[in-house]
Structure 1
Amino acid sequence: METMKIGDMELFWLNGGDTHMDGGAMFGVVPKPLWSKKYPVNDRNQIELRCDPILIRWNGLHFLVDSGIGSGKLTDKQKRNYGVTEETKLEESLAALGLQPADIDYVLMTHLHFDHASGLTKLEGEKLVSVFPQAKIITSKIEWDEMRAPNIRSRNTYWKENWEPIADQVVPFEESIEVIEGIQLHHTGGHSNGHSILTLTSQGETAIHLADIMPTHAHKNPLWVLAYDDYPMTSIPAKQKWQAFAEEKNAWYLFYHDAIYRAVKWDEDGQITHEIKRETGR
Structure 2
Amino acid sequence: MLLDSLAAVGLSHENIDIVILTHLHFDHAGGLLSAWRPDAPCELLFPRARFITGRRHWQRARSPHPRDQASFIPDIMALLEGSGRLLLVDEGDCPPLLGPDWHFHFSDGHTPGQLLPEFAMPGGPVVFAGDLVPGAPWVHLPITMGYDRFPEGLIEEKEQLLAALVERGGRIVLTHDPDIALGRVSQDEKGRFTLSRTWPKAEQMTT
TM-score (norm 1): 0.64
Distance, in Å, in 2 between the alignment partners of 1:210 and 1:217 is 11
Distance, in Å, in 2 between the alignment partners of 1:255 and 1:145 is 26
Among 187, 193, 196, which residue is 1:273 paired with? Answer: 196
Distance, in Å, in 2 between the alignment partners of 1:162 and 1:244 is 35
Superposition map of 1:138-153 within 5 A: 138-153=52-67
Instruction: Name 1:60's counterpart in structure 2.
Output: none
Superposition map of 1:173-188 within 5 A: 173-178=89-94, 179-188=98-107
Task: Flag structure 1 segments of 5+ consecutive residues without an equivalent.
Answer: 1-87
Instruction: Name 2:88's counterpart in structure 1.
Output: 172
Structure 1 residues 155 and 267: alpha-carbon distance in aligned structure 2, compared to 1, 3 A threshold: closer
Tell me by how many angstroms 1:204 deviates: 6.2
Instruction: Name 2:33's counterpart in structure 1.
Output: 121
Distance, in Å, in 1 between the alignment partners of 2:32 and 2:50 is 11
Superposition map of 1:149-228 within 5 A: 149-167=63-81, 168-178=84-94, 179-203=98-122, 205-228=124-147
Tell me by how many angstroms 1:153 deviates: 1.4
Instruction: Name 1:49's counterpart in structure 2.
Output: none
Q: Aligned to 2:42, what secondary structure does the other structure show?
A: strand
Distance, in Å, in 1 between the alignment partners of 2:60 and 2:143 is 25
Distance, in Å, in 1 between the alignment partners of 2:6 and 2:50 is 18
Runs of 4+ in 1 over 4 A off after TM superposition: none
CA contact (8 A) 2:139 2:194 kept: no
The one-letter amino acid paired with 1:275 is T
Superposition map of 1:3-42 within 5 A: none
Structure number with the higher helix fraction is 2
Distance, in Å, in 2 between the alignment partners of 1:157 and 1:243 is 26
TM-superposition CA deviations, 1:211-257 (whole Å, max 9, x none):
11111110112221222111112211111111111011111121111
- Pairing 1:232–2:146 present: no
- Pairing 1:109–2:32 present: no
Task: Flag structure 2 segments of 5+ consecutive residues without an equivalent.
Answer: none
Instruction: Name 1:130's counterpart in structure 2.
Output: 44
Distance, in Å, in 2 between the alignment partners of 1:142 and 1:227 is 22
Distance, in Å, in 1 between the alignment partners of 2:200 and 2:41 is 38
- Pairing 1:92–2:15 present: no
Distance, in Å, in 1 between the alignment partners of 2:126 and 2:170 is 5
The one-letter amino acid paired with 1:276 is W
Tell me by how many angstroms 1:111 deviates: 0.8
CA contact (8 A) 2:129 2:175 kept: no
TM-score (norm 2): 0.85
Distance, in Å, in 2 between the alignment partners of 1:92 and 1:221 is 32
Greater RCO, CA 8 A, separation 6+ = 1
* Count of matched residue pairs: 194
